[in-house]
Structure 1
């Protein structure tokens, strides 16, 4: 199938400018690695969400990934790992251990998000002695939700790629972020990609479900796109059958909502100011808005999760979920996205015609 060339595909050595988001709760351990391995095999690039990983689980991850790519030799493992800044901040020694394990296992990239001191961890990744035990210094991807954050990441931190996450995105993100289209447009205007010293590749993240949507962002000037929810509707996902069924049933503009209610239900506290999450709008949100006490909500959520009742389960999802109609293996999702992307780019090219 025809490769799509952008600054992102050149940076990572991939054929398709599609990245699977680092999802810390939608998938975990070997299951998460399986998704990312299949995305990479499909020509894209996958990030494993390591926000809640332990040193032991990380080492198990790398055993699986290495066995999946037995011929890599000293080449970097063709996956990335994503870390949550505020969780790293909680324990410096533990954070450095997790990052060093990741670095010395020769991953291709590290993604950092949701912290008030991200630069601290960028510096550690770049200067850690673990780099001497690896054969490659990992690329740095940083997630941003505003033009101001993007300017800092590009001009001061000198990151290798910027993930521009708009409000449509599932999971955690900026409570006041603009739409993905607006954010990417503003960042591209502030950080031109074609100057003497081009800015790092800009990846669009939020609300996408199809290759045609990815093509639209490439036409806008983005170097690639990040998808998350679409990969939760796969057999490889750690989402429970009830959660997948809820995603398939989600329709309409009110199907998802930005809220902290879902974090309250699972007692996940500590997120930085102005960060919330987007998930399916269900009875958890209703109870929070009705003033039901948190302990009761948490007990109901636990019981519903054990019973497989999606009406009271945490189901992260982006606004693009309404365009997702079936569960299929990751490799088939990648073929579908790639085919759709190439077809749409070819259609766009036909819009330009010489005057007769």
Structure 2
């Protein structure tokens, strides 16, 4: 591929533009969005962490049917927090009791205790290696030496997320190919892994400079970026590309609901908050009744992924009944500046803005 905007990241990834679509879990990613971004010269990403291992190959094939360009599959290295791997019957009943009023209010039957609350990462990564996507991106940790070696053997590039200099340096020393430096402005989960998330809240502006001055591999900036000027700023600060999440999440090709898109384009987007109330892990979304009630009352609360699993059982009914006050509305702080509702329009605007940079520089 002829590189249109040459950086260390575009060269390493084999893409034309320094634009990475952020991966979305929980069914918010789609093969269509992933392929659309890749076909237009960026790199699309698919958040696969909630997929059963048996589904990873199928989704990879679906993406390959729609693009021949590089794309990434994303997994969560850490698949549970303390106390969240499994519950005995008594603990399950006690946890359900915390959520029972919401199940009853939405008319949802009590769920049966699952075999697991999150697909096992060890089985997912085996399936990913078998599927061999061009890029394996990951959060909440560093893959084992054997997994990284298997990626190199199969020609799979690796892209890890860091929220601190220490995390970035560990990713580089472990042999990871590229780093996403993700600031606290970003929507969704805070993917810290060496310190608690609440202690890993450096902003993108500072983090990109701190990290790019201390590692030699390409750095990708994430958090608070939704247009070409954000990408230009990231490149000026030392990044070799930008990862854009919320702006792509708002596009019709994503798997989110119409109500979530409406919220991203509404006044509520000015009011985001960091909360553990939806999954048990710290994440940024638009404030609503659920986030405020949990912040005030301190419950219901369970560790990841138990909290996430119980609320996932309510999501379909809540959305169908228009109860966006009870579902996660992931959003970065930049959401009020969103302008585009189709991925192609967004990519065109991003590339046009960057082309203007090249023209001005020339």
In structure 1, how many angstroms separate the alpha carbons of the residues matched to 2:41 and 2:3? 11
Q: 1:10 to 1:292 in 2, by over 3 A?
A: closer
The one of 246, 255, 271 aligned to 1:255: 271
2:38 maps to 1:16? no
CA distance in 2, matches of 1:101, 1:88: 19
Shift of 1:88: 7.9
The secondary structure found in structure 2 opposite 1:245 is helix
Quote the residue 1:64 is aligned against. Answer: 62
**Matches of 2:229 and 2:320 in 1, distance apart?**
38
Check 1:164–1:26 CA distance in 2 against 1; reply closer, same or farther (3 A cut): farther
Structure 1, unaligned stretches of length 5 or more?
Answer: 192-198, 351-356
Q: Aligned to 1:304, which of 302, 318, 335?
A: 318
Deviation at 1:234, TM superposition (A): 1.3
Q: Deviations over 1:8-63 (max 9, x none)?
A: 110111110000112112614xxx22111111001000121111111232122122
For residues 138 and 248 of structure 1, the distance between their equivalents in structure 2, rounded to whole angstroms, comes to 36
Assess if the C-alpha contact under 8 Å between 1:164 and 1:204 holds in 2: yes
Question: Residue 134 of structure 2: which of 108, 111, 126 is its match?
Answer: 108
Residues 55 and 26 from structure 1, CA distance in 2 versus in 1: closer, same or farther, beyond 3 angstroms? closer
Equivalent in 73, 82, 90 of residue 81 of structure 1: 73
Mean Cα displacement is larger for which, 170-179 or 97-106?
97-106
1:301 and 1:95, CA in 2 relative to 1: closer, same or farther beyond 3 A? closer
Contact 2:139–2:160 (CA under 8 A) maintained in structure 1? yes
Secondary structure of 2:134's partner?
Answer: strand
Q: Report the Cα distance in structure 1 between the residues aligned to 2:339 and 2:232, rounded to whole angstroms.
A: 20
Aligned to 2:212: 188
2:239 counterpart residue number: 222
Which of 135, 139, 148 is equivalent to 1:126? 148
User: 1:278 is matched with which residue?
Assistant: 284
| Structure 2 segments unaligned to the other structure (5+ residues) | 86-115, 191-196, 302-309
Find the partner of 1:203 among 186, 198, 220.
Answer: 220
Change (3 A) 1:59 1:188: closer
Q: Secondary structure at the match of 1:163?
A: strand
| 1: CA distance, partners of 2:248 / 2:167 | 27
RMSD of Structure 2 on Structure 1 (CA): 2.8
Which residue in 1 is equivalent to 2:182? 165
| TM-score normalized with structure 1 length | 0.79
Give aligned pairs, total. 311
CA separation of 1:88 and 1:64: change in aligned 2, threshold 3 A: farther
For residue 295 of structure 2, the aligned residue among 285, 289, 309 is 289
Structure 1 residues 177-186 or 55-64, which shifts more?
55-64
Asked whether the 8 Å contact 2:25–2:47 carries over to 1, the reply is: yes
Inter-partner Cα distance in structure 1 for 2:152 and 2:295: 48
Partners of 2:45 and 2:315 lie apart in 1 by 28
Superposed displacement of residue 159, structure 1? 1.2
Q: Matched residues in 2 for 1:177 and 1:305: separation?
A: 31
CA shift at 1:251, angstroms?
A: 5.6
Task: Tell me the residue number matched to 1:141.
Answer: 159
Indicate conservation of the 8 Å contact 1:259/1:277, yes or no: yes
Give the distance between the partners of 1:292 and 1:140, measured in 2 at CA: 38
The superposition leaves residues 288-341 of structure 1 with CA deviations (integer Å, 9 ceiling, x where unpaired) of: 12216428x95986753231232332110001101013422x122111111112
Q: How do 1:3-42 and structure 2 match up within 5 A?
A: 3-25=4-26, 27-28=28-29, 32-42=30-40
Specify whether residues 34 and 66 from structure 1 end up closer, same or farther in structure 2 by C-alpha distance, changes over 3 A only: same
Quick check: 1:85–1:113 contact (8 Å CA) kept in 2?
Answer: yes
Cα deviation per residue 1:46-103 (whole Å; 9 max; x = unaligned)? 121111111232122122123224xx5xxxx621111101118969x94343223222
- SS of 1:208's equivalent in the other structure is coil
Deviation of 1:187 (Å): 1.1
| CA distance in structure 1 between the aligned counterparts of 2:14 and 2:326, rounded to whole angstroms | 42
